Amino acid sequence: MVRRWIERARAVGLWWWQRRYTLADVAYAMGFFPFVVVGMFVALDYGERLEWGLVSLPDRLADAYPVVSLLLKIQISVVVPGLVALTVLMRRRRPVLLMGASLLLIGVFGNVYAAPIALYSYAAWFPGRWQPLLMWSGAHLVALGGVYSVWQPTLIPFYSMMFLVFPLLVGLWVGTRRQLVENLRERAERLEREQHLLAETAIAAERTRIAREMHDVVAHRVSLMVLHAGGLEVSAPDEQTAKAAELIRTTGREALSELREILGVLRDGGDAAPTAPQPVLDDLDRLVDSARAVGVPVDLTVTGTPRRLGTQVERTAYRVVQEALTNAARHAPGAAVDVRVDHGRRELTVTVTNGPAAVDGVDPVPGSGYGLVGLRERLALVGGTLVAGPLPDGGWWVRAAIPVTPAETPRQVEEAP
């Protein structure tokens, strides 16, 4: 419920932000309308007393045509300001309309109250257009001077400052500041894009270097191992040795195939999809048989109700068992290994336990030191947890819990094996 409210509030805030300029223009127009109406009443008063301009026409018609005079006053004092207020809504897209309406009010009706917002808007939104700005300012100055030369000649400098110069200066300051902020923002965005491009280039170069080193070192040595295992299989003195050599050759070929896919992912920037079928829970029996073939006593127990799970969930469980069996063979040669897979209603639990080394005098095979770290990262991608540690008898145990509910498992995430 709270999340839904937050999402609605964000949607409303985004709506307001995307339409902030339009809403600001509407507010300007609503505030501008009564301001011009007041100015029109002032102009009507001056026009009646001085018999100047169109604003004196209602007073001239009052005796002969009182109804027409009243309608003219309503149109001059309400309708005309309303039409001018509509031009405020287009002051950013069509500033010429507002400028023309302002000049029309000054020249025909003697209403100078539209000039400040017209000049301010043009200067604020088009500060670089100096020639049109000077032209419109000069036209307003001439019109304003013509009006006040009739009404109040002594106040021409004051009204020129108040209605022309001050709005122009404020508009130019606002427009210049807006342009500066916009330029700084564009520069920051450009620098961010350049930094992102440099980072991607560096990552691609590092990926290529790692792929090259893996190909030159790891792939070369694994290929030699496969070739030697093939030769040993042909010249083996007995059947047991031949089977062991065949297993080594098959495992090496599978390792080369997976290594080739990983190299492709590194060189292509992680966009290359694996071409070989990815291991799932059904492949655990074959994995256990491979471990038994090299002398690791493994017992596999499956509890619960097995069912088809997400590909990433099953692949993660397979990798946990694979890494645990590899570690047991490396660090505890000859130790019995117990693998338990429990299909729960909400999570899949994989537990691998091995005893202490049962073969003396055999040096443990060195590992990379990142096996468990990689498993924890893999489980974190699916929202799972990994617990591992030593046992009192010198053995080791690994327990992985993987959520299987759709709401908790991001199955759409695919990763390279």
Please write the tens of the pLDDT for every residue from 31-77.
Answer: 777 777 776 766 666 555 545 555 556 666 656 666 666 777 766 66
- pTM here is 0.46
Highest mean pLDDT among 23-37, 80-94, 292-306: 292-306
Task: Please give the pLDDT value at position 18.
Answer: 54
Check pLDDT > 50 for residue 411: no
Closest CA to 99 of 77, 79, 117: 117
Question: What pLDDT score was predicted for residue 1?
Answer: 52
Q: Are 357 and 331 in contact (CB under 8 A)?
A: yes
236-281 pLDDT per residue, tens: 788 777 777 887 778 777 777 777 777 777 776 655 445 556 788 8
- Residues in Cβ contact with 296 at an 8 Å cutoff, skipping those fewer than 6 apart: 325, 328, 329, 334, 335, 337
**Whole-number pLDDT of residue 352:** 93
pLDDT of residue 217: 67
pLDDT of 338? 93
402 by Cβ neighbours in 10 Å (0-12 / 13-18 / 19+) ranks as buried
Across 41-191, the runs of DSSP E, i.e. the strands, are none
Phi, psi dihedrals of residue 333, rounded to the nearest 5°? -60, 135
**pLDDT score of 14 more than 60:** no
Indicate the pLDDT class of residue 407, thresholds 50, 70 and 90. Answer: very low
Q: Does residue 188 register a pLDDT over 80?
A: yes
What percentage of the chain exceeds 90 in pLDDT? 6
Mean pLDDT of 76-102: 73
Long-range contacts of 366-371 (CB under 8 A, 24+ apart): 366/330, 367/326, 367/327, 367/330, 367/331, 371/323, 371/326, 371/327
Average pLDDT of the residues of the chain: 73
Least confident of 42-46, 164-168, 332-336, 345-349: 42-46
Domain locations in the chain as residue ranges: 2-151, 281-403
259 close to 222: Cβ distance less than 8 angstroms:
yes
So what's the pLDDT on residue 410?
A: 39
- Of 5-19, 75-89, 116-130, 181-195, the least confident: 5-19
Which amino acid is it at 300? L
Cβ pair 372, 388 in contact under 8 A? yes
- Non-local (6+) Cβ contacts of 289 within 8 A are none
Task: Answer yes or no: is pLDDT of 396 > 80.
Answer: yes
Kindly indicate the confidence band of residue 406, based on its pLDDT and cuts at 50, 70 and 90: very low
pLDDT band of 415, cuts 50, 70, 90 = very low
CA atoms of 19 and 27, how far apart (whole Å): 12
Query: To which residue do tokens 């050759």 refer?
Result: 249
CATH architecture of structural domain 281-403: 2-Layer Sandwich (3.30)
Cβ-Cβ contacts under 8 Å for 67 (sequence gap 6 or more): none
How confident is residue 402, by pLDDT bands cut at 50, 70 and 90? very high
Residue 408 — pLDDT band, cuts 50, 70, 90?
A: very low
Q: Return the bridge partners of 183, or none.
A: none
Looking at the predicted structure, is the pLDDT value of residue 287 above 80?
A: yes
For 192, counting Cβ atoms within 10 Å of its Cβ (0-12 exposed, 13-18 middle, 19+ buried), the class is exposed
Q: Give the amino acid at 355.
A: G
Question: How many other C-beta atoms lie within 10 A of the C-beta of residue 347?
Answer: 19
